Structure 1
Amino acid sequence: MAHVMAASELVTATIKRPFQNDDDNSSNGNGNADGKPKARRREADPAAALAAARHEFGEHGGVNMSIEASATFTVMEPDTMRRLFSGELGPERGDLYIYSRHFNPTVLALGRQMAALEGTEAAYCTASGMSAISSVLMQLVGAGGHVVASRCLYGGTHALLSRFLPRASGVRATFVDADDEAAVRAAVRPGETRVVYVETMSNPTLAVADIPMLARVAHDAGAKLVVDNTFTPMVVSPARLGADVVVHSVSKFISGGADIIAGAICGPASLVNAMMDLQEGALMLLGPTMNAKVAFELSERLPHLPLRMQEHSRRAAEYASRMRRLGLRVAYPGLPDHPHHARLLAIANPGYGAGGMLCVDMGTEDRANRLMHHLQNTTRFGLMAVSLGYYETLMSCSGSSTSSEMPPEDRARAGISPGLVRMSVGYNGTLEQRWAQFERALSLMQQQQQQHPDRDAAAKYCKV
């Protein structure tokens, strides 16, 4: 495969240190010390950064990059193997590879594109979002370390921090209101806290993290700020706001097809290199390897991610506004009365809206289930399914699904009510067609409420 032109300020170096900042090499003004072209500056707009980074050609001049599907790689001379393992040779020193659990040309190319998207020095793509999160935490925190985390997180991440890591490695986590700077600072344990962990938009309540504030708190404590940006690719760039590491479940908006499981870690070159260390790297030794064919598929979808996110956001904003006018209790950061609306405007990248996620609180799980039943089975507005970022609208009752790993008292503290319906707004069909389907389903709910008033007496979900 031809040389990949990077958009972020990095060039690949050796098999042990494949990502290297420009500052590591002297330059003669026309290129780096090794004669390679200087890395391009980071673009402020994620779409521009992606366009600058994506310039691969196939092996025979194809407009799409080639897929290197090999698990292992041959060498032409016996001594080359020794030089590969010693770091003298590697992907950018001889275009040589050892084994795809370490580096694969196709996966490496996707990593450069993800680094460009998030404005980081480097990125490594993994087999799932949870493998990205767990590998980062195991690398940064270490046995017996401490994490300060938002109390409202994806259920799998909450279980990882509250149950698995304490049992497996003695890691302890303190869950706090991440919006309360004093509480976050008070939770920090001097000399022990290694990571502050949040989501850009909390899953599922859609609280917007104050990333600049959290970065200050983390750095004052000598810790790293790790941000899960799964809900808001393109919309927010956490690394540009002070985050040290950005993680993604690439399965969601970035993939867009609900057909791929994948993750990504975007951060400093030093971190990615350390995680790929042959002796101590979490990625190298745990082996959450992305398949090269998956990397190719994802690379083909990245160019239209900006357009997809704009349409997800446009429809979510319109639906949220109309739902509010109907009297529904809706949470969407793009609405002016959302408590974090001004914050999102301050940190968001212009032109991509407020994201494609919204929540409707139906009060009880029974009401939530009845609404979703009509939306899927009667009017065909969307699908009852977990995950997000699909071109069809996906919906689930968070308390009994993706947040069910959290104990009831933790869900209550996080603001996850029993009737909270999380919607990932799709863009298939016309907006008016889908809205008519939503209104019809809601009308059926209102008719049932009138026919069975005792059933819905506990909590109104809609003005009637």
Structure 2
Amino acid sequence: MAPVVAAVEPFTSLLKRLQPQDDGLGDDTGSTDVKPMKAHRRESDPAAALAAARHEFGEYGGVNMSIEASITFTVMEPDTMRRLFAGELGPERDDLYIYSRHFNPTVLALGRQIAVLEGTEAAYCTASGMSAISSVLMQLVGAGGHVVASHCLYGGTHALLSSFLPRTSGVSTTFVDTDDEAAVRAAVWPGETKVVYVETMSNPTLAVADIPMLVRLAHEAGAKLVVDNTFTPLVVSPARLGADVVVHSVSKFISGGADIIAGAICGPASLVNSMMDLQDGALMLLGPTMNAKVASELAGRLPHLPLRMQEHSRRAGEFATRMRRLGLRVTYPGLPDHPHHDRLRTMGNPGYGAGGMLCVDMGTEARANLLMHHLQNSTHFGLMAVSLGYYETLMSCSGNSTSSEIAPDDRARAGISPGLIRVSVGYNGTLEQRWAQFERALAFVQQEIPDAGAGKPCNAV
């Protein structure tokens, strides 16, 4: 190959050349070849795996990796360009790049970290969560293919599967209760079903998918299991349970700042490479490219994701327990009487709790709106806003917001009540301060609607 020569060799290249890389795989050889991260790691805790991964240094030895802002990359010999486009050379094997819509060094480094976090061989970071989801489905399903999906999904994903892909690609989807093994098996079309699609924890009802069961059914049908793990990073590692592909809206818990739109696709290196194919790769040709500056910012947030998830979970669990004592209809998988409590404990990674999301069902939209009004405007408990994973508590009435794309009958079938409030529990302020604010807001509601807090405690999933 004709090497790319720089006037000053980057510090990272020197490190790769002079010393073995301890990436936690236990096979350090000192080779200068940079391999994709592999799924079978010696660390089962995702935070430990992340800490054991190769640290990307800055060009001159900075403790933070450099931002490669260039969109295009030079070569020193004309034939190198031809070999790059022919796939003979590339970023992982030779540290050679073509164009940032294909691969960018900073974005690739973030992808390695997220792959380690999820326990997959590779990952590719995208411009949004929906771009990650849509690109994976278009790549795996193809025109005229069939998908089996949970009947309770984020509204945008539901619209993609029920409206957009049928119209543009002839893709059909059968929506089922994915907790019902017989229903999933009956929904599969032999030879035609390409993907079984679920969320680890359903948005917004917080049902917990039986990932090992769905892996088995998908693979029996020759299909891939794709899991959206946006609600539960670190809490559950779907790929370690057998899922083929894991997608994220990185905008949520992974980012944590409500200031970045981003997504990620985690899976085999063969999938990422196929999606970046110059001729028919969904990522390459649709172009949902992450900006290198965004990737650098996100890389700086990953190390404290475990601490943030632990506190999100701790507070959500405490609030859910106290809400239950008040007689509110609260759904939280960490509560012992949640129908999937034991399942989550079995599948989950120890030490990260049951996640930072809970639901309070006020019965009617009017009651839900009144409670949210007082929580934001009277006591300052949280903010009325969609999204999740922020350090402030965020709340929305799912039926008229993030699940509004789903038809009313389908919402009812999925267990999305008109009065269901989805709450992303933040961690700023003290727990007792925030709980006092919640109680005051509920008191205001009960003054206006005396029976608003009444009702048998239940977990309607």
Same fold (TM over 0.5): yes
Matches of 2:454 and 2:360, distance apart in 1: 13
Counterpart in the other structure of 1:18: none
* 8 A contact 1:8–1:120 mirrored in 2: no
Paired residues for 1:47-126 under 5 Å = 47-126=47-126
Q: Secondary structure at the match of 1:135?
A: helix
1:30 Cα deviation after fit: 3.3
CA distance in 2, matches of 1:7, 1:273: 21
- Matched residue of 2:227: which SS? strand
Letter in 1 for 2:434: R
One-letter amino acid of the counterpart of residue 233, structure 2: P
Q: CA deviation at 1:460?
A: 4.4
% identical aligned pairs: 82
Deviation at 1:35, TM superposition (A): 6.3
Q: Which amino acid aligns with 1:347?
A: M
Please give the residue correspondences for 1:334-373 in structure 2 after superposition, counting only pairs within 5 Å: 334-373=334-373
Which residue of the partner structure matches residue 231 of structure 1?
231
1:88 positional shift: 2.8
Change (3 A) 1:38 1:234: closer
Are residues 309 and 58 of structure 1, via their aligned partners in 2, closer, same or farther at CA, if it must alter by over 3 Å? same
Contact 2:37 2:116 in 1 (8 A): no
Q: Show the 5 A alignment for 1:320-399.
A: 320-399=320-399
Q: Secondary structure of the equivalent of 2:358?
A: strand
Match for residue 312 of structure 2?
312
Change (3 A) 1:175 1:36: closer
Deviation at 1:78, TM superposition (A): 1.8
Deviations along 1:14-36, one digit per CA (max 9) or x if unpaired, are xxxxxxxx9xxxx9x8366x766
Which residue identity does 1:126 align to in structure 2? T
Aligned residue in 2 for 1:17: none
- Paired with 2:207 and 2:37, the residues of 1 have a C-alpha distance of 36
Q: In the alignment, is residue 185 of structure 1 matched against residue 185 of structure 2?
A: yes
Deviations 1:148-196 (A, max 9, x none): 0000000000000000000000000000001000000000000110000
Change in CA separation of 1:315 and 1:162 when aligned onto 2, cut-off 3 Å = same
RMSD: 2.0
CA distance in 2, matches of 1:77, 1:38: 26
- Gap runs ≥5 in structure 1: 10-21
CA contact (8 A) 1:8 1:39 kept: no
Distance 1:82 1:6, change over 3 A: farther
Supply the distance in 2 between the matched residues of 1:299 and 1:462 (Cα, whole angstroms).
45
Q: Could you say if the C-alpha distance between residues 202 and 6 of structure 1 is closer, same or farther in structure 2, counting changes exceeding 3 Å?
A: farther
1:30 corresponds to: 29
Aligned counterparts of 2:140 and 2:317: Cα–Cα separation in 1: 37
Structure 2 letter corresponding to 1:354: A
CA distance in 2, matches of 1:242, 1:37: 22
What's the CA shift for 1:89? Answer: 2.3
Change (3 A) 1:202 1:231: same
Deviation at 1:52, TM superposition (A): 1.4
Structure 2 residue ranges without an equivalent (≥5): 1-9
Whole-Å Cα distance in 1 between the matches of residues 196 and 56 of structure 2? Answer: 36
Indicate the residue corresponding to 1:12 in structure 2: none
SS of structure 2 residue aligned to 1:92:
helix
CA 113–37 in structure 1, closer or farther in 2 if over 3 Å, else same: closer
Residue type at the aligned position of 2:29: N
Residues 260 and 294 of structure 1 are in contact (CA less than 8 Å); yes or no, is this contact kept in structure 2?
A: yes
- How far the C-alpha of 1:255 sits from its partner, in A, is 0.1
> Would the aligned equivalents of 2:35 and 2:92 in 1 still touch at CA under 8 Å?
no
Query: In structure 1, what residue type is equivalent to 2:45?
Result: D
How many residues are matched?
Answer: 439
Give the 5 Å matches for 1:160-239.
Answer: 160-239=160-239
Q: How does 1:239-318 map to 2 (within 5 A)?
A: 239-318=239-318
Q: 1: distance between equivalents of 2:430 and 2:49?
A: 30
CA contact (8 A) 1:358 1:422 kept: yes
Tell me the equivalent position of 2:129.
129
Q: Using a 3 Å threshold, how does the CA distance of structure 1 residues 35 and 108 change in structure 2: closer, same or farther? A: closer
The answer (yes or no) to whether the contact 2:35–2:93 under 8 Å persists in 1 is no
> Taking structure 1 as reference, are residues 293 and 446 closer, same or farther at Cα in structure 2, changes over 3 Å only?
same
The 2-side partners of 1:332 and 1:433 are apart by 21
Q: Deviations over 1:191-239 (max 9, x none)?
A: 1100000000000000000000000000000000000000000000000
Q: What code does the residue aligned with 2:401 have? A: S
TM-score of the pair, normalised by structure 2:
0.92
1:390-409 alignment, distance < 5 Å: 390-409=390-409
